[in-house]
Amino acid sequence: MTKHKIGVRSFIRHLNFVISSSFRFRHSSFRRFCLLLVCTGLLALSGASCPQMLQRYTNPLPRVLPASPTLEQVIEVVNRNSSQITSFSSSQASLSGPGFPSLGANVAFERPRRFRLRAGTGLTGTELDLGSNDDLFWFWMHRNQPPAVLFCRHDQFAQSPARQTMPFEPGWLIEALGVVEFDPALPQQGPFPLPNDRLRIDTIRNTPEGPVKKVTIVDGSQGWVLEQHLFDAQGRLVASSVASQHRRDPLSGLIMPKVVSINCPLAQFAMRIDLGNVEINRMVGDPTTLWSMPSYPGAPPVDIGDPNFRPPMAPGPVARSVQRPPPAVARPRPGAW
């Protein structure tokens, strides 16, 4: 870095001499040559420090939230963006995780509960089909044994044995992908300031098993939802999502993350979803087939919301697909974020 500084000073002294001498010439092409020499010399001498030099002249995004926002201000900014996302879709997404290769994926969402994630390869076809419509949700894996299309009605999920198979509600996956709305009717605590201009909001919700907590981490400047963590009534971490590479949709002006990493420690399951160039409020595809539970040859439908359904003692189909457990996520402690 010192050598670069010395080189720049020497270059500038030489440049001053050249430019001062150039005033004896009135030809515009020579003046353009001097300007070109300035740019070329600075780029050549800056080397690896060039991005740092450019960064000094890059204006940061203007703040959307004030420096010390109230809870109401944070909720208003987050809900204003999410409430305008009525649908989104991407045909160039990808899905990856420990124990399985990267898969091409199609992702679609439409309010209030319609969701579809299909992933696979050109050689093997569809490997995963996860979806939800207004009445029920389903899950199918090509390599699951025994083959089955697992499904459950939304109104039966909370009281069904399915909660042992899927520890979080399917609607949480939609929130994890960026459509997050705070319910003003629920008790909210915060915002608590965190390092790197982040804010933490705790939401408490009562369930038949007891109060559960959701911890939401928000960018303190733009109001982007960066992290979400769910804890059950025993204080165990059920599921986490970390969102990154937020981008503004050029047509709608709304913001969604491009990459979301999801971790479910209790199910020993982790995956990373890259949404690619997601399109907001522009649905593509036939809704009749998009939001209908599929049927696959040799895979009968199994109602995991049936009171007589008993989850297998061995790891479920999702856990079996993961050959090694994902990294453990430590439970956040008050003030530790």
SS (H, E, C) 28-93: HHHHHHHHHHHHHHHHHHHHHHHHHHHHHCCCCCCCCCCCCCCHHHHHHHHHHHHHCCCEEEEEEE
Cis peptide leading into residue 184 (ω within 30°): no
* Residue 224 pLDDT > 90: yes
Average pLDDT over residues 293-305: 93
Confidence of residue 312 (pLDDT cuts 50, 70, 90): low
With the C-alpha atoms ordered 50, 52, 56, 58, is the resulting torsion angle positive or negative?
positive
pLDDT in tens, 58-115: 467 899 999 999 999 999 999 999 999 999 999 999 999 887 778 999 999 999 899 9
- Beta bridge partner(s), residue 312: none
Least confident range of 209-213, 284-288, 294-298, 299-303: 284-288
Which of 19-28, 133-142, 188-197, 284-293 has maximum average pLDDT?
188-197
Express as a percent the part of the chain with pLDDT over 70.
72
SS3 state of residue 26: coil
Confidence of residue 149 (pLDDT cuts 50, 70, 90): very high
Average pLDDT over residues 269-293: 89
Write the CB contacts of 282 (distance below 8 Å, at least 6 apart in sequence).
87, 89, 251
Average pLDDT over residues 201-226: 94
pLDDT of residue 169: 67
**CA–CA distances in Å: residue 197 to residues 63, 68, 257, 258:** 11, 10, 18, 21
**Nearest residue to 245 via CA among 217, 263, 226, 228:** 226
Average pLDDT over residues 227-234: 94
**Mean of all residue pLDDT scores within the chain:** 77
Residues 270, 262 contacting (CB under 8 angstroms)? yes
DSSP string for residues in 88-150: EEEEEEEEEETTEEEEEEEEEEETTTEEEEEEEETTTEEEEEEEE-SSEEEEEETT-SS--EE
R_g over Cα of the chain: 26
pLDDT of residue 203: 97
**Nearest residue to 337 via CA among 156, 197, 183:** 197
DSSP state of 292: S
* Residue 317 pLDDT > 50: no
pLDDT of residue 166: 66
Least confident range of 24-28, 115-119, 129-133, 159-163: 24-28
Phi, psi of 95 (to 5 degrees): -130, 130
Average pLDDT over residues 142-157: 89
Residues 117, 318 contacting (CB under 8 angstroms)? no
pLDDT of residue 168: 63
pLDDT of residue 72: 96
Average pLDDT over residues 198-227: 94
Question: What is the CATH number assigned to the segment(s) 71-320?
Answer: 2.50.20.10
pLDDT in tens, 3-56: 444 443 443 344 344 334 433 434 443 333 333 333 333 333 333 344 343 344
pLDDT of residue 319: 36
SS3 state of residue 313: coil
Higher pLDDT, 313 or 165: 165
Give the other-Cβ count within 10 Å of 242's Cβ. Answer: 18
pLDDT of residue 242: 97
Structure-block tokens of residue 38: 């300035």
